[in-house]
Structure 1
Amino acid sequence: MPAGGTRPAGRPGAAGGTRPPGRPGAAGGTEPPGRSGAATGGVGYAQLWAADPAAWRAAGAAWAGLTGLADRRSGALDGAAAGLRDGWSGGAAGAADTRLVRLRAELTTLRPALIEADQALAEFAARLAAAKARLAAAVALADGSGVLVDRHGRVRADPARPATERAGPAAARVAAAIRDALDLAGAADREARTRLDELSAAAGTGWVDAPPPGRPAPGGGPALVRAWWAGLTPAQRRWLVAHEPGLVGHLDGVPIAARDQANRLLLGAWRDDLLTERSRLLGRVPRGPAEVAGLLRVGAALSGLDALDARLAAPGAPRAYLLGLEPGGEGRAVVALGNPDRSSRVLTYVPGMTAGLDDAPGELGRAGRVLARCGALDPGAETAAVLWLDYDAPDFLHEAVWPGQARDAGPALHRFQEGLRATHEGPPARQTVLGHSYGSLVVGTAAREHGLAADALVFVGSPGVGVAHAAELGLPAGQVWASTAADDVIRLARPPDELARRALLGASPLGATAGVAGGHELWFGRDPTDPGFGARTFPSGRHGHTGYWAADNPALDGMARIVLGR
C-alpha cells in the first residue's frame, strides 16, 4: 500500500479511492478516524487528508507505459503477416492474414486508450493535490484563529480561549474553506469515475468508427476546428487519433488531451526519421562541412528528443502534454505542464535566440520553475504552463538583430492562443504570455499584428518588442509587464542601423555596443522597462541574461504573481 494509505486501481472509488489509515495526520489539533463522515456527503475530511495523489499519478504512468508493449506486439504481428504472405497461399492463408491485420488494428487503437487512462488518472491526481492544499490552508487558518476542527471536519470556537480571543467570524471562514476543499475533491472523484467508466464501456462495441469525409482546411481558425471536432462522436475522434495522428496533433482547436495522445503516438516515427537521417549522413564519404554540421544537428535533436521523451514518461507532477513536435531543421516543440484546458491560469512561455529541439527540455524546465513558484504562492490553484517553441529562433547574433523570424512566427502564436481559448473547459482561464529575449519580440509582434488571446503579457530580458508603447499591444492598461536585470547585456543592444554605422567605423557589432549604455531605444524599439513605454515593471536580481528563473531571483516571484493574477 502506498505511503499515503491509498490503493489506486484502474478507477478510483466513490470517495477519492482512498483508504485512510486509522490515525491520519493531525488536522487543527484533532485526530480524525479512518472513516469520517463529511457533511457534504462526498469525500470525507479524513479521506482527503490521507489521500496520496502521487500513487494515482504512478498508476496512470503505468497504463501509459503499456503503449510500448502494444507497439512492439503490433510490429511483431506485422512481421508475421508478411512472412505468411511470402510462403503460404490459399483460403486459409487469406483468412489468417485478415485476422492478423485485424489484431494489429486493435492494438493500434488500444494505444491512445492507454494514454487516455493516464490522462484521466493524472488529472484526478492533480485536482486531488489542489484539494489537499486547500484543506491544509483551511487547517492553518483554523490554527491561527482560535478554531477547532473535529473528527468530522466540523468547526467551532475553542472554548479554552478567553471570550475576547475566540474566533468569531473566523469559524465560518474555516468551515467554508473546508467545504471548498471537499467539494473540489468530490467533483474530481466523480469526474474521474465517469471518464474511466466511459473508457471501459467504449472498449466493448463501437470503440472506433471512421469519421465522414472532410477535414479542416490547413490554417483554419481554431474556433472552426473546435466546432468540427465537437461534431464528431467519441468513436470517430478515437479513430482520427489512431489513424491520422499527424493531423490531430497539430490542429489548434483540437482539445489538449487528443493532441497529446496523437503526438505521443508519433514519437517513435520521429525518432526513426532522425536515425535514418543520421545513417545517411554517416554514409557520405568524404564528409564536407555541411555534412558535419548536419550530423551535429541530428545528434543534438536526438538528444533533445530522448530527454523530452523521458519527461513525458515521468510519473511525477505535473504531467506533461505533447502538443506539437517537429524534428526537422533545428527542431520545434510545444509542451504543456498540466492540462491548459482544465486550468484556471495558463502561462505560455516563448523562448529566444538559439532555442531548438535540443534546448526544449531545459526551456521546459524554466516554464516548470514558474509553475512551481505559482504552486508555492497559491497551493490550491489549478495552473498550467506551456513551452511554445514553434518557430525558427535565430541561431546567431547577425540573425537576431532583424525581426523577420519574429514576424514569421506571429500567425502561429496567434492561432495557438486562440486554440487555448477555444478548447478550454469551464469559465475562461487567465492566460499569460511570457517572452524572453528574442521571444519577447515574437510575442510583441504577434500581439501588434495579429492580436493575442491573453490577459497579460510579460517581457524579460527584452531587446524591444516591436512597438513604441505598451498601448499598441492591444491589452488593457496595467496588463503589460517587463523586467530586465541590471547586469543583462541586452541593455547594451542598440538599433541595427546604429550597429551598422559603428561596424563601418571598424568596430564589431558587440564591441560597438560596449560603450553605449543608457538610452531608450534597443534593437526593436523602446526598452519595455523604460517608464515612457507604459508597461508595469517588476524587479530582477543581478543574474545576467538567462538568470530570471533562478530560485533566489525576485523576478521568478514576479512572473508567478502575474500568472496568478496578483
Structure 2
Amino acid sequence: MVTYLQLWRADPAAWRAAGAAWNQLAVGVGQRAAELGTVASRVADGWRGSAGSAARGHVRALRDPLDAARLAFIETDQVLSDFASALARARAMLAAAVAAAAPAHVEIDRAGRTAPDVTVTGIDRAAALHAAGRVGAAIGAALDAAAAADRATAEHLGRLGAAAAEGWPTSPPRSGLPVGAPPVVVRRWWAGLSEAERRWLIVHQPAYVGRLDGVPVAARDQANRSLLAAQRAALVRERAAAVRTAMPRNAAVSASIRLVGLMSGIDAVDARLSTPSGERAYLLSLVPDGDGRVVLAVGDPDRADNVLTYVPGMTADLGAVRDDLGRTEALAARAAALDPTQRTSTVLWLDYDAPSFLNEAMFASRAHEAGPALHRFAEGLRATHDGPPAQQVVLGHSYGALTVGTTAREQGLAADDLIFVGAPGVGTDHAATLGLPPAHVWSSTAANDPIAYLAPSWKSSLADMRDHPFQIHAHEHLWFGRNPTHPDFGGQVFTGAAGGHSGYWRSGNDALDDMARIALGPEHFGEVR
C-alpha cells in the first residue's frame, strides 16, 4: 500500500539515477569483455600451438556468462527507469488533484483524506462535499497507480533475480527464428518462447533480434545496446585500414570523413542512452553502413499511452543525428509538460536512405524505397504494445513528409493521425487518399519556410521570380503534389510560426505545442491552433 505522504515525497530522479548506474555497469562489463577477446585473439594469432587455441577457447567459454550478466544489468536499468516514469506520472496525478482542492474549498489532511473547508456553509457546502469526493477519487487513483507500478517492479526484479540464480541459458530455442514473417507473427513467436530462450537469442543473435519488428522494444533495446561498442570498434579499424591502403588521396579522405561521421553519430546515440536524467531512451536499431541508420525512442513505446514516430528528411543520417535526437526529445518534453499524467513516447525513425543532396531530393524514389520498412515498423509498434492500443501518430518533416505520405497511400500506415511539417508535397493531392479520415491528417508550413515556394517545375519558379521579384508567394501545387496546407487538400492545418525550414521544434513555437497536442490524442485537438 502506497500512502499519500510516501508518494508526495517520492523521488523519481533517484530511481532513474539507479537505473543509469546499472547501465554504466553493463557498459563497463561489455568493454572489459571485448578487451579480453581482443587480447585472446592476439595471443592465439601470435602463437599457433595448443596453448594459444586453449586461451582463445577459455575466453569464449567465459564470455557467455559475462554477456548474460551485462544483459541482466541493462534489463535492471529498464525496470528501474520504468518505475521512475510511473512514479513521475502518479505524482503528477497527485499534484493535479491537490491543485484542484483549494479553488473548490476542499481540505486534504496528512493521510490524503478530503473534506470541505470548515468555513464553507449552506448550499456552497454541498458543492464542496461533491468536490471533496472528486478530489479524493483523484488522490486514490494516483495512489493506486503508484501501488500497481510498485508491485510490477518488484515482480519483474524477482523474476530477473531468479533467472540469475538458476544460471543463464546455454542452448538455443527449439523453434527457429521467423524469416520474413509479418510483425504480428513475430510477436506470437516471441511470446511462445520461454524467458531463457529469449535471453539466449538476445545474447547470441543480437544483430537479428535487435532489428526484428514484432519483438518487444525492451528486448530490442537490450540486443542493440550490446552491439554498440563492437560497431564503433569496427569503424575505428576500418578507418585505420583506409589510411594504410594505397587508395587515391581524395578517396581516402572521403572514406575517413564518412567513418568519423558515423563514429560521431554512435557517440551521440551512446550519450543519449547513458544520460541519467529524463525519460529513458530505447535503441531499436543502429546500422553503421553507408550514411548510417538509427531508430531510437524516448520512453518505451510498448508501455506508452501515445507514440509519435518522427521521420526526418533531406541530409538526415547517423553522422548528423544530434539535431534529430534534439527534435525527438523536444516533442517528448513538450507532450509531458502539457499532460504529465499521460506517457508519451517519441521515436526517431531514420531507417531509410534519406537524400543527401538536392539533386537526389528532386525525385520520389527514396520515399518509395522506404515505404515497406516504415509500414512494417508501424505494424510492429502495434503488435508489441502492452494493453490497449496507443494513440499512434507518424510525423514527417521535409522529404520525410513525402516518405510518410507515400507510405500511407501505397503501403498503409498503422497510425491514428499523420502530421506533415515543411512538406514539399506528400505524393498526393488529397488527404482522403492517405487511408485516414481527413480530420486526422495535419500539416503546417511556416510563412518563411522556402519549401512552400517549390513549384512543380523549375520553369514556373523562375517565371515567378522574374515576373514578381519582390512578391514571391506559396504555391498551391508543390514539387510532390498539392500543398497539404492548401484548403483543397482537405486536411487540418495548424500554426507554423516563422522559423524557416527547421524552426518547428524551437521552444516557444506554436507548432511544437500543436504537434505535442496531436500526439496526446483527440481530447487535446480542440487546443490545436
CA displacement at 1:97 relative to structure 2: 7.5
Of 207, 211, 215, which residue of structure 2 is paired with 1:246?
207
Aligned to 1:378: 339
Q: Who is 1:560 aligned against?
A: 516
Question: 1:423 is aligned with what amino acid?
Answer: T
Judging by fraction of residues, say which structure has more helix: 2
Deviations 1:2-57 (A, max 9, x none): xxxxxxxxxxxxxxxxxxxxxxxxxxxxxxxxxxxxxxxx2110000001011111
Question: Aligned partner of 1:113: which letter?
Answer: A
Counterpart-to-counterpart distance in 2, 1:434 and 1:404: 19
8 Å contact kept, 2:315–2:354: yes
1:403 aligned residue: 364
* SS of residue matched to 2:505: coil
Task: Report how far residue 104 of structure 1 moved.
Answer: 2.2
- CA gap of 1:60–1:324, structure 2 versus 1, over 3 A, is same
Aligned to 1:360: 321
Unaligned runs of 5+ in 1: 1-41
Asked whether the 8 Å contact 2:393–2:417 carries over to 1, the reply is yes
CA shift, 1:68, in A, is: 2.8
The two structures have a TM-score, normalised by structure 2, of 0.93
Q: After the TM superposition, which residues 85-104 of structure 1 pair with which residues of structure 2 at under 5 Å, given as runs?
A: 86=47, 100-104=59-63
Amino acid paired to 2:173 = P
Q: How much does 1:76 deviate?
A: 5.4
> Which residue number in structure 1 is paired with residue 14 of structure 2?
55
Shift of 1:477: 3.3
**Cα 1:395–1:512, aligned 2, differ >3 Å: closer, same or farther?**
farther
Q: Which residue of 2 aligns with 1:215?
A: 177
Match of 1:391 among 349, 352, 356: 352
CA distance in 2 between counterparts of 1:215 and 1:107 reads 24
How big is the shift at 1:294? 2.2
Change (3 A) 1:144 1:359: farther
Instruction: Mark the CA change 1:77 to 1:403 in structure 2 (over 3 Å): closer, same or farther.
Output: closer
Aligned-partner SS, 1:431: strand
TM-score normalised per structure 1: 0.87
Report the Cα offset of residue 389 of structure 1. Answer: 0.4
Structure 1 residues 508, 308: CA separation in 2 closer, same or farther (over 3 Å shift)?
farther
Instruction: State the Cα distance separating 1:513 from its structure 2 match.
Output: 11
- C-alpha distance in structure 1 between counterparts of 2:326 and 2:48, whole Å: 53
Please name the residue that 1:158 is paired with: 117
Pick aligned residue for 1:117 from 73, 76, 101: 76
Indicate whether 1:269 and 2:225 are aligned: no
CA-based RMSD: 2.3
SS of aligned partner of 2:166 = coil
The one-letter code sitting in structure 2 at the alignment partner of 1:103 is L
- 1:437 Cα shift? 0.6
Structure 2 Cα separation of the partners of residues 254 and 99 of structure 1: 32
Shift of 1:412: 0.4
| Conserved? CA contact 2:312–2:350, under 8 Å | yes
Q: 1:77 to 1:174 in 2, by over 3 A?
A: same
Deviations 1:142-167 (A, max 9, x none): 12211111111111110123445442
- Following superposition, the deviation at residue 285 of structure 1 comes to 4.8
The alpha carbon displacement at 1:98 in A equals 6.4
The Cα of 1:494 is off from its aligned counterpart by 1.2
- 1:160–1:252 distance in 2 versus 1, CA, 3 Å: same
Structure 2 residue identity aligned to 1:463: P
The 3 A distance-change label for structure 1 pair 161 and 304 is same
Q: SS at the partner of 2:185? A: helix
Alignment-mate amino acid for residue 560 of structure 1:
A
* Match in the other structure for 2:527: none
Code of the residue aligned with 2:178 in structure 1: it is: P
Distance 1:394 1:76 in 2: 38
Give the deviation of 1:212 after TM superposition: 1.8
Residue among 434, 447, 457 paired with 1:473: 434
Following TM superposition, by how much is the alpha carbon of 1:99 offset from its aligned partner in structure 2, in angstroms? 5.8
Going from structure 1 to structure 2, the CA distance change for 1:233 and 1:403 (only over 3 Å counts) comes to: same
Q: Taking structure 1 as reference, are residues 364 and 95 closer, same or farther at Cα in structure 2, changes over 3 Å only?
A: closer
> Are the equivalent residues in 2 in contact too, given 1:128–1:185 (CA < 8 A)?
yes
Residue 269 of structure 2 is aligned with which of 288, 305, 308? Answer: 308
Aligned partner of 1:550 in structure 2 is: 506
Matched, 1:278 2:234: no
2-side partners of 1:274 and 1:89: how far apart? 32
| CA distance 1:231–1:461, change in 2 (3 Å) | same
Instruction: Report the Cα distance in structure 2 between the residues aligned to 1:511 and 1:470, rounded to whole angstroms.
Output: 33
**CA distance in structure 1 between the partners assigned to 2:135 and 2:69 by the alignment:** 46
- Residues 521, 527 of structure 1: 8 Å contact kept: yes
Cα distance in 2 for partners of 1:459, 1:84 equals: 56
Which of 503, 522, 529 does residue 478 from structure 2 map onto? Answer: 522
Mapped to 2, the partners of 1:104 and 1:538 lie a distance apart of: 54
Q: Structure 1, residues 168-208: CA drift from partner, whole Å, max 9, x if none? A: 32112111111111111011100000000000001022531
CA change 1:89–1:251 in 2 (3 A) is: closer
Residues 210 and 224, structure 2, Cα contact 8 Å, conserved in 1: yes
1:318 aligns with 2:279: yes
Secondary structure of 1:203's match?
helix
- Residue 461 in structure 1 maps to residue 422 in structure 2: yes
Unaligned runs of 5+ in 2: 525-529
Task: Give distance in 1, aligned partners of 2:104 and 2:492.
Answer: 36
CA distance in 2, matches of 1:493, 1:509: 11
Q: Give the superposition deviation at 1:80.
A: 7.0
SS at match of 2:66: helix
Matched AA of 1:559:
M
Amino acid across the alignment from 1:524: F
Shift of 1:512: 11
Inter-partner Cα distance in structure 2 for 1:543 and 1:550: 8
Partner Cα distance (2:266, 2:19) in 1: 22
CA spacing shift, 1:349–1:80, aligned 2, 3 Å: closer
Change over 3 Å in CA distance of 1:511–1:266 after alignment to 2:
farther
CA contact (8 A) 1:492 1:513 kept: no
CA gap 1:432/1:94 in 2 versus in 1, 3 angstroms? closer
CA–CA distance in structure 2, aligned partners of residues 354 and 158 of structure 1: 60
Could you give the per-residue CA deviations for residues 209-257 of structure 1, whole angstroms, max 9, x where no partner exists? 421252111x321011111111110000000000100010000000000
Q: Letter of the aligned partner of 1:520 in structure 2?
A: E
Q: 1:79 to 1:382 in 2, by over 3 A?
A: closer
After superposition, residues 53-202 of structure 1 pair within 5 angstroms as 53-75=12-34, 77-78=36-37, 83=43, 86=47, 100-166=59-125, 167-202=128-163
Distance (Å, rounded) in 2 between the aligned partners of 1:122 and 1:512: 59
Q: Distance in 1 between matches of 2:422 and 2:59?
A: 57
Partner of 1:418: 379
Cα distance in structure 2, aligned partners of 1:79 and 1:394 = 37
Identity of aligned residues (%): 53
Q: Which moved more, 1:424-433 or 1:286-295?
A: 286-295
Distance 1:373 1:510, change over 3 A: farther
What is the Cα deviation at residue 87 of structure 1? 8.8
Q: Distance in 2 between matches of 1:404 and 1:561?
A: 32
1:286 deviation in Å?
A: 6.4
Contact 1:493 1:513 in 2 (8 A): no
Q: Counterpart amino acid of 2:347?
A: V
Secondary structure, aligned partner of 2:512: helix
Judging changes above 3 Å, is the alpha-carbon distance between structure 1 residues 253 and 139 closer, same or farther for their aligned structure 2 residues? Answer: same
Deviation string for 1:430-460 (max 9, x for gaps)?
0010111110000000100010000000001
Residue identity opposite 2:73 in structure 1: L
Amino acid at match of 2:226: L
Q: 8 Å contact 1:502–1:512 — kept in the other structure?
A: no
Is the counterpart of residue 436 in structure 1 residue 392 in structure 2?
A: no
The one-letter code matched in structure 2 to 1:527 is N
